[in-house]
Amino acid sequence: RKIGTRSCDACKIRKVKCSQTPPCERCVAIGVECTFNKRQATRGPRSLRPRTIEQIQQAQRTPVQNPVEGTPPEATPRDVTVESLVVRLCIYRLRLFPVWPIVAVEEVIAALQRDAHDVETRLLAIAVGAATMAQLKLERFQDAGVNDDSTAASLEAECQRIRGSLDRGIANLNSIRTAFFLHIYHENQHPGGTKSLLYLREAITLGQILGLHRGSSYLGLSPAEDRLRRRLLWLLFVTERGVAMLHKLPVVLQRAERLPPLDGGGVDEEAHILPAFKKLVSLFWIFDQSHAFEVLQEASDNIGGMSTGSASSLNREVLDLLQRRLQDLPMDMSSGGNDVQKADIFVTKQWMQVLLWRATLCNWAASPSSSSTLVAGPIQIAQEFLDLICQLPHSAIESHGPAIEFKVYEIASAVADSVETRFGLPNADLRPGDVIMRLQRILATSRGGNNKLLQLLAMRLSQ
């Protein structure tokens, strides 16, 4: 049924005509949720923010520049239109901005429309488009307003072509973000692969060159740039810690307590995303502050061996403390953040508890008489996760790509291990078979199904 004469949120952002019948034709075409949450603004004269006035005046003072004479023709992408990039940027804004809150889409679109030859901005937009399509497993699409054959792979190839023609020795916020989104693209292709990890390391190194990890580098910055730098730093921190735990790698960024805080003060126009983002950061902060990464790395290295004496005792104390702190963190469905952020927090918290259980299992093998009553078993952890995640739409899980699928797999694998070792088994009310089947169903339906992880889980269960 038609909802008055209102356009949906996505069509408003894209500035295209809406069919006004949910779900509208354009949202169906590009595969995004069709919502009518934004209220109709009052018509008539409205005051402009100082930053908006400044951008308008700058655009009026600066005419569109032709490419600098002598610039290689391939420096400006020719095959990807601005309209095509706008569609992908809008999808990122609607579905993935809460996950990676580091690109002001409206500003990027305005810059592209103001100067089609702004290579650095286009490069960032293309990288965002490639990462977005890969993360959501979007194929090429056709829309009444946009008709293109660009895929995630073709956008990544175009991104590489442009990067090859630019001076790679410059470290700025655009180059950091471009490297980060290339990491996301390649992590979707080959999780934990060489290209994925190298692009993440590139983004971190560029950030260190720019001084994101030093508090003194934030002095004198505008509030907007200050916020962007802090978000970017902590997104790199969370991403690196997560990748390091998933793929058993050492970390590059220094410890959390030495980094500038996420909240630098001042008014944030997008403060609604910060409570959930801060909660995710706090999960990794807890791990980092308690030296859990070192403990887990040692537990991983000692598989088949045993921790000795005081080291084993110290590790048990760390694990018990971590377990208490994680269990004390409330998982309130009504708290700040949207469904995408809640899914990330729920899965990450339960996955971290599974990692603690595995490390405790190693210590228990070394010293079976030690008490581990504080450590929740994988079946209980998995059941809590399933109870929470069933309250969220499936698209919220899909927005996190392979990382969340790996975490679900780790939880399911730990359930199987707990049955085999009988360490941490709960009462008979929770049946492991039912829990594993529900976790398998998530892996089978997320983004069309993760066959590789399903096969690995099937092999694990058959052992």
Let me know if residue 61 belongs to a domain.
Answer: no
Based on the fold, state whether residues 423 and 329 are members of the same structural domain. Answer: yes
Using 50, 70 and 90 to split pLDDT, how confident is the model at 307? very low
Average pLDDT of span 396-404? 85
Based on the fold, state whether residues 382 and 298 are members of the same structural domain. Answer: yes
Classify the C-alpha dihedral 280-218-57-118 as positive or negative: negative
pLDDT of residue 188: 93
pLDDT of residue 54: 57
* Alpha carbon 71 to its chain's center: 35
User: Token pair of 247, please?
Assistant: 């793929």
pLDDT of residue 69: 37
Q: Is 50 exceeded by the pLDDT of residue 276?
A: yes
The alpha-helical segments, DSSP class H, found in 192-328 are: 194-210, 223-247, 274-289, 292-301, 309-328
Which of 166, 193, 224 is at the close of a domain?
166
pLDDT of residue 57: 47
Q: Is 80 exceeded by the pLDDT of residue 206?
A: yes
Q: Is 80 exceeded by the pLDDT of residue 272?
A: no
Based on the fold, state whether residues 249 and 312 are members of the same structural domain. Answer: no
Q: In this predicted model, which residue has the larger pLDDT, 33 or 195?
A: 195
User: Token pair of 239, please?
Assistant: 């991403």
CB 438 within 8 A of CB 386: yes
Give CA–CA dist 364/312, Å, rounded: 9
pLDDT of residue 429: 59
Domain count, the chain: 3
Based on the fold, state whether residues 201 and 292 are members of the same structural domain. Answer: no
Give the residue numbers spanning the domain of 102.
75-166
pLDDT of residue 312: 58
User: Token pair of 174, please?
Assistant: 């655009």
* Alpha carbon 144 to its chain's center: 30
Based on the fold, state whether residues 233 and 279 are members of the same structural domain. Answer: no
Question: Rounded to two decimals, what is the model's pTM?
Answer: 0.76
Give CA–CA dist 95/116, Å, rounded: 25
Let me know if residue 28 belongs to a domain.
Answer: no
Give CA–CA dist 128/87, Å, rounded: 11
CA dihedral of 124, 125, 127, 128, whole degrees rounded to 10: 120
Based on the fold, state whether residues 101 and 88 are members of the same structural domain. Answer: yes
pLDDT of residue 61: 45
Q: Is 90 exceeded by the pLDDT of residue 157?
A: yes
Give CA–CA dist 91/10, Å, rounded: 8
Based on the fold, state whether residues 347 and 451 are members of the same structural domain. Answer: yes
Based on the fold, state whether residues 100 and 171 are members of the same structural domain. Answer: no
pLDDT of residue 126: 97
For the chain, the average pLDDT equals 79
Give CA–CA dist 431/270, Å, rounded: 43
Q: Which residues have CB under 8 Å from 440's CB, separation 6+?
A: 412, 454, 457
